[in-house]
Structure 1
Amino acid sequence: MRKNHLLSLTAAIMALSAFTPMDSVTAENLLPSYHSRSEIPAQYKWKTENIYSSIKDWEKDRQKASSLSALFKKKYQGKLGSSPELLKGALDDYSELARISDKVSVYASLSRDVNAANPKLQVLSNKADKMSDTISENTAWFVPEILEQPQNRISTWIHHPQLKTYSYFLSDIVRTRAHSLPKESEELLAKVSPLGGTANALYGTLEKDIAFGPIKNSKGIKTTLSRSNFPSIMESSDRSFRKAAFKKYYETLGSFQDTFAETLQAQVKSHNISAAIRKYPSAVEAALDQNDIPSEVYSQLVKTVSKGLPDLHRYIALKKKLLKVDRLHMYDMNAPVIKADTEYIPYKEAESLVIKGLKPMGSDYQKLLKTAFSKGWIDVYSTADKRSGAYQWGSYDTHPFVLLNYQGTMDDVSTIAHELGHAMHSYYSKKSQDYINAGYATFTAEVASTLNENLLWEMQYKHAKIKKERINLLTQRLEHFRTTLFRQTQFAEFEKEIHEMEESGKTLNAAALNRLYQNLNQKYYGPSLAADQENALEWTRIPHFYNYNFYVYQYATSFAASTALSSQILKEGKPAVERIKTHLLNAGGSKDPISILKDAGVDMSTSAPINQALSAFRTTLDELEKQLN
């Protein structure tokens, strides 16, 4: 992102499971239900006024960023080779305009995401998008002009004392020299780049406009099915309710499958065309090279996880047995194996659990967690027009912001720990790095977040007093492995396959996509899962396929890395914590991601961390079988 767009966001957005209030499934009447944002108490809403106190102030910065980008082009284009001092001035000025534009974009997005029905906020978001397009056009010449310089001049710049802050930035640009275009071509691509977001926009419109209609639970209580409440219903203990929701959901999506297929095909084509233009052998290599990740990491993940599928099949067979069903269906996959003693966890209790679980990270980390909970970093509860899921975002000049849709489940508590892992990563990296090096790659971002999840789980299991509680925690952990290590690898394999299919001239119609997805689903879940026709349609509801470019594999690699690092923390204590803070949390994007993680204690260039994670899955499964006997 840093080189192509020259807008280095300082935190990665992560979309997780979607949860919004509904006719309560697990929380009965304990979960607060809010019809509008004004009803939510202030302590449960993030404070965007910490970014800008008024729209007027926001507008000033928006205009300033656009103006600075035009001035940047006028002042420096055609002159970069003059001297190291002039280049430093250009990089300093770029950092200033990018910092301002980041801040503008964050404010607009955060405001819209919690109040999407407000047309004024949609206008704000559109203005921010146009600002970003303007900046992209005005800076598209910058990297090509650097690359036009003689090699010996660039080498001198990289090692020049005045350019020390920008050394890695410049080195990273040079690394992809063979894939950069002449500046006229880069400027042209920048002008047409908004078209690349068409598939994303169309998917968003489909997502917003598709209505699923009402369904009833086993007691005859009617609920309006939506994308937001579908995941919660899939966790219900009411099997007939789950089945009805599952059938209705995919029946509805299936009626739009041709449109979804055309949308996905457009996205895949744009990736393949872009890779070809930049002279990459494949779209996956082009995508991974942006963060200096060897393509072997991707293929190695799929190959290694595939070898571990017999243990996943064993777990699925055990789940079928525990649920006491003749045939296990996909709508059974998230059902509770046994009824939990505590059905609803109040948010204040969730805070305490997270703080206690992350105690191994040290007193400064604990202090920051308490600040996040008390100073307007987190937006907790749902309304009908709030964005679903959970994420963390922020700019270099703001504190991190965390979006939740808290439902009071144990998974929600884990989500808090996860998103605060991102928040702490952002905080530490901004504190330790200059702007240009503070933005970290997703490949490392998801390590910090899943590390927190692992530590939280370890604390809970250590303090579990009764067998029922231990069984619940073990199944929760196994589910994290299933949904992150295995499921995200399945998604990654699907992404790779569809890009190769399109590149070879095959049409990505709904029938072809359904057939591919169904085959992969059976490969990963094994013979214990019924091959229902609805399973084949899951590709229609995974936003990452339409919004991102070979993104999901990083959830799996990061989960493996964090499994190794959390084990080190529990074995070594403070030395491991300090190593991880110094070389991961504080590092930002000052090195390539593989080196950052290697310094922190895990080598993702090998299959060892994946194998270690698969071993941990197997050990957890063994422990569950032991507890069940």
Structure 2
Amino acid sequence: MDRKDISEKYKWDLSFLYKDNQQWERDFERVKSLTNQIKQYKNKLGNDSETLLEVLNLQFTILRNIGNLYCFAKMKKDEDNNNSMYQGLTDRAEMLMTEVDMALSFIVPEILNISKDTMEDYLNLDQFSIYRHYLEQVMKKKPHILSASEESLLARTGEIANGPQNIYTMLNNADIKFPKVIDEEGNEVEITHGRFIPLMESKDRRVRKDTFKGLYDVYSQFKHTIASTLSTEVKKNVFYSRARKYNSSLEAALFQNDIPVKVYENLIETISSNLDPMHKYVSLRKEILGYEELHMYDLYTPIVEGIDLKIDYEEAKDTVVEALKPLGEDYINVVKKAFDSRWIDVYENKGKRSGAYSWGTYDSPPYILLNYHKTLDNMFTIAHEMGHSMHSYLSNKNQPYIYSGYSIFVAEVASTVNETLLTDYLLKNTDDIQIKKYILNHYLEQFRATVYRQTMFAEFEKIIHEKVEQGEPLTADNLSNIYKDLNIKYYGKDIFIDEEISVEWARIPHFYYNFYVYQYATGFSAAIALSQGIINGDKESRDAYIEFLSSGSSDYPINVLKKAGVDMTKKTPIEECVRLFNNSVDEMKNMMLTK
């Protein structure tokens, strides 16, 4: 479908950011001017408190505005990756971001040259109260901050450093074309990123197999090119970690959010020690489907027969609103505003970025990109992305710009709480036992995909970074071997590990996000803990959760979660999450196999 054929009410309205390209151009020139202005402060930050305050104010003004420029350009590009105008604006915004990074690169080293006593005197001044937490974070980075000239040199690499991800994104979204398959109704359908999962959910095993093989055969044709982009991405992470004197690229990635490496290791260790529930679920799926041999392309199809839920977008909207009502009237009013005010880009079109996300700036609504198809999974995607958007909305509303952005460590908590509330609502509001089984199956799939699968991804990332750190190459073949071995480990003996799945690493964009995926699993575990009190109608739990959503980065993410009642430095939340999954598998088995 071409974008012009979609009704305006189902397209996001980016005029909240910029009314037109001319306004964007004026802001672009303004940021360039401010960037030149801040350069004049170089070698002067230690002069007095007034100078430091001026620079901090100017720095965050620049960052706020460059964020608007990049967000608008990139989101316009995401509407249609073939649009050369917005490819150009995105490139210009990225180049300006690199220029900004270079211009600001002297600030942190000069702050670190200010004596501890002098900094304490500054922090006791009222006008510095807003910057206390920020400056304390800067001072913690002292062992990893280089000289001003070295920082400037690293900043100059910014545009090059984005290369692997940018090349992969263009290849994956604009250049790669997948074959057509015959669906279960006999129609010829082209495989796309958006259609892949709906086709993999087909009740017709032939459709699933053809889709699976069709998609991965294409990735296999490009596996050497994609291995090169991924290898370069990992080498980039290793380079920066060593340049900044970290013990590993993992430590470097986690340090930015003050996350102990043990949190990452705890996740992999805990899940690796609790694979039995996952293997039990795979075995149950095989038994219910009645296959002599379960294949990887059988993992997405519902194991409940007689259910063909087709959920129109308007119906999905109304259901999500009802499901989220335990979060309070104020929360719901903003959700309704998001639906009614064109904060959401709903349907797939040619050239549109695949998947879904929530994104915006301090000065814009928290927009949502969807590629909506009439499936239960896509309705859950609405709830998921709305969780992100509400987190952003409340953080922006309650925090100054400097602390409005929440850490990626807590980013998946709000989205998963919303999905859990939607599951609870759906289970409580149907008397149809088949639909209940279907929803419980979906819930189990959330666990499988978010806790177990994302932990498998996290272990894959850890392995490939360690191999580069040890001087070993990352070729398409050894990436595929590592990935296949992990699938064998996580899915167990009751499934046939098809050779095609070995190249799945080539279609995962999150491997270009520098140790991001583990946070899906930790976030899911935290969300399960937080959602229980909300579901039970406990006002204190709900209020603590809303306070969590409103905290932004005003404190370290581990502390923000602790205040809400979850301690992720311990294995307990993950163990409790796995225990709930195990119980849910047993419940599903009783429902499905009891006559």
Are positions 1:180 and 2:145 aligned together?
yes
Deviation of 1:68 after TM superposition, in Å, equals 0.6
Summarize deviations over 1:457-489 as a string: whole Å, max 9, x none: 111112221210110011000000000011000
SS at match of 1:392: strand
Q: Which residue of 2 aligns with 1:603?
A: 567
Preserved contact between residue 481 and residue 502 of structure 2 (Cα < 8 Å): yes
Q: CA deviation at 1:85?
A: 2.4
Q: What is residue 384 of structure 2 aligned with on the other side?
A: 418
CA contact (8 A) 2:10 2:346 kept: yes
Structure 2: which amino acid aligns with 1:620?
Answer: S
Which of 187, 203, 214 is equivalent to 2:168? Answer: 203
Out of 168, 180, 192, the residue aligned to residue 214 of structure 1 is 180
* SS of residue matched to 1:442: coil
Code of the aligned partner of 2:444: L
The answer to whether the 8 A contact 1:298-1:553 is kept is yes
CA deviation string 1:500-538 (max 9, x = no partner) = 111112121122111111111010000011022112111
- Alignment-derived partner of residue 302 in structure 2: 336
TM superposition shift of 1:218: 5.6
Query: Is 2:529 aligned against 1:564?
Result: yes
Bigger CA drift: 146-155 or 382-391? 146-155
Quick one: distance in 2 between partners of 1:305 and 1:110? 36
Partner of 1:624: 588
- 1:38 deviates by 2.2
Q: Which moved more, 1:467-476 or 1:81-90?
A: 81-90
Pair 1:232-2:186 in alignment:
no
Which is further off, 409-418 or 195-204? 195-204
Q: Given the alignment of the two structures, is residue 123 of structure 1 paired with residue 88 of structure 2, yes or no? A: yes
With normalisation by structure 2, the TM-score equals 0.97
Which of 352, 372, 392 is residue 406 of structure 1 equivalent to?
372
- Quote how far apart the aligned CAs of 1:95 are: 1.6
Within 5 A, what are the aligned runs for 1:256-335? 256-335=222-301
The match for 2:400 among 415, 422, 434 is 434
- 1:475 equivalent to 2:444? Answer no
* 2:78 alignment counterpart: 113
Is 1:44–1:380's contact at 8 Å kept on the other side of the alignment?
yes
- Determine which of 65, 68, 72 is the counterpart of 1:103: 68
Q: Partners of 2:460 and 2:375 in 1: how far apart?
A: 30
1:151 aligns with 2:120: no
After TM superposition, the structure 1 = structure 2 runs for residues 67-78 of structure 1, keeping only pairs within 5 Å, are 67-74=33-40, 76-78=41-43
Letter in 1 for 2:333: K
In the alignment, which of 526, 529, 532 is matched to residue 495 of structure 2?
A: 529
Amino acid at match of 2:42: Q
Query: Is 2:34 the partner of 1:64?
Result: no
**Contact 1:425–1:585 (Cα < 8 Å) also in 2:** yes
2:514 aligned with 1:549: yes
The C-alpha deviation readout for 1:291-329, integer Å capped at 9, x for no partner, is 111110000000011122100000000011111211111
**Residue type at the aligned position of 1:350:** A
Q: Which residue of 2 aligns with 1:8?
A: none
Per the alignment, residue 6 of structure 1 pairs with none
Cα distance in 2 for partners of 1:291, 1:66 equals 29
> For 1:543-593, what per-residue CA distance to the aligned partner results, in whole angstroms no more than 9, with x for missing partners?
111x210000001000000000001222352111111111x1110011110
Q: Give the C-alpha shift of residue 205 in structure 1.
A: 3.2
Equivalent position of 1:489 in the other structure: 455
Q: Give the distance between the partners of 2:124 and 2:467, measured in 1 at CA.
A: 44
Q: Which position in structure 2 is the counterpart of 1:345?
A: 311
Alpha-carbon distance change, 411 to 523 in structure 1, aligned in 2, over 3 angstroms: same
What's 1:15 paired with? none
* Partner AA of 1:338 in structure 2: V
Match of 1:40 in 2: 6
Amino acid at match of 1:615: R
CA contact (8 A) 2:198 2:375 kept: no
**What amino acid sits opposite 1:119 in the alignment?**
S
Query: Cα distance, 1:222 vs. partner?
Result: 2.3
Q: Partner amino acid for 1:193?
A: G
Secondary structure class of the residue paired with 1:338:
coil
Contact between 1:340 and 1:472, CA under 8 Å: does it hold in 2?
no
Equivalent pair of 1:85/1:162 in contact (CA under 8 Å): no
Q: Report whether the alignment pairs 1:575 with 2:550.
A: no
Please report how far the alpha carbon of residue 204 of structure 1 lies from its aligned counterpart in structure 2 after TM superposition.
2.0
1:138-166 CA distance string (max 9 Å, x none)? 11111111112112222333343211111
Kindly tell me: are residues 378 and 226 of structure 1, through their superposed partners in 2, closer, same or farther at Cα, counting changes over 3 Å?
A: closer
Residue 431 of structure 1, CA deviation:
0.9
- Could you tell me which residue of structure 2 aligns to residue 444 of structure 1? 410
Query: C-alpha displacement at 1:70, in angstroms?
Result: 1.3
Give me the whole-angstrom Cα distance separating, in 1, the residues matched to 2:75 and 2:475.
Answer: 35
Distance apart, 1:187 and its partner CA: 0.1
Residues 1:375 and 1:499: Cα distance change in structure 2 (over 3 Å): same
Distance 2:453 2:307 in 1: 28
Question: How big is the shift at 1:36?
Answer: 2.1
Secondary structure at the counterpart of residue 229 of structure 1: helix
Aligned CA distance change for structure 1 residues 285 and 159 (closer, same or farther; 3 Å): farther
2:129 match: 164
The equivalent of 2:101 in structure 1 is 136
Distance (Å, rounded) in 2 between the aligned partners of 1:465 and 1:125: 50
1:612 corresponds in structure 2 to 576
CA contact (8 A) 1:84 1:160 kept: no
Letter in 2 for 1:595: N
- CA deviation digits over 1:593-627, x for unaligned, max 9? 00000001111111111011111111211211221
- The whole-number CA distance in structure 2 between the counterparts of 1:220 and 1:571 is 47
Number of paired residues?
A: 592
Query: 1:26 matched to which residue of 2?
Result: none
3-state SS in 1 of match to 2:157: helix
Q: 1:219 to 1:449 in 2, by over 3 A?
A: closer
Which residue number in structure 2 is paired with residue 380 of structure 1? 346
Superposed displacement of residue 219, structure 1: 5.8
Task: State how far apart, in whole Å, the 1-side matches of 2:283 and 2:416 are.
Answer: 26
Q: Deviations over 1:335-376 (max 9, x none)?
A: 121245453111111111111110110000011111011011
CA contact (8 A) 1:112 1:118 kept: yes
- Flag the 1:94–1:340 CA change in 2: closer, same or farther, 3 A: farther
Following the alignment from structure 2 to structure 1, what is the Cα–Cα distance between the partners of residues 344 and 185? 36
SS class of match (1:530) = coil
Report if the CA contact (8 A) 2:95-2:159 is conserved.
Answer: no
My pick for the range that moved more, 191-200 or 151-160, is: 151-160
CA distance in 1, matches of 2:59, 2:199: 48
Separation in structure 2 between the aligned mates of residue 117 and residue 192 of structure 1, nearest angstrom: 26
Gaps (5+ residues) in structure 2? none
TM-score w.r.t. the length of structure 1 is 0.92
Q: Deviations over 1:72-102 (max 9, x none)?
A: 111x211111222221221111121111111
Once the two structures are overlaid, the 10-residue window that deviates more, 227-236 or 241-250, is: 227-236
- CA, structure 1 residues 155+137, in 2 after alignment: closer, same or farther (shift >3 Å)? same
- 2:43 aligned counterpart, secondary structure: coil
Question: Are 2:194 and 2:371, in contact at CA under 8 Å, matched by a contact in 1?
Answer: no
User: CA contact under 8 A between 1:433 and 1:586: conserved in structure 2?
Assistant: yes
**1:370 is aligned with what amino acid?**
K
Task: Give the unaligned 5+ runs of structure 1.
Answer: 1-34
- Identical-residue share of aligned pairs (%): 39
Partner of 2:505: 539
Q: Report the counterpart of residue 220 of structure 2 in structure 1.
A: 254
In the alignment, is the contact (CA less than 8 A) between 1:328 and 1:528 conserved in 2? yes
Secondary structure of 1:443's partner?
A: coil
CA distance in 2, matches of 1:194, 1:130: 6
More displaced 10-residue stretch of structure 1: 322-331 or 219-228 = 219-228
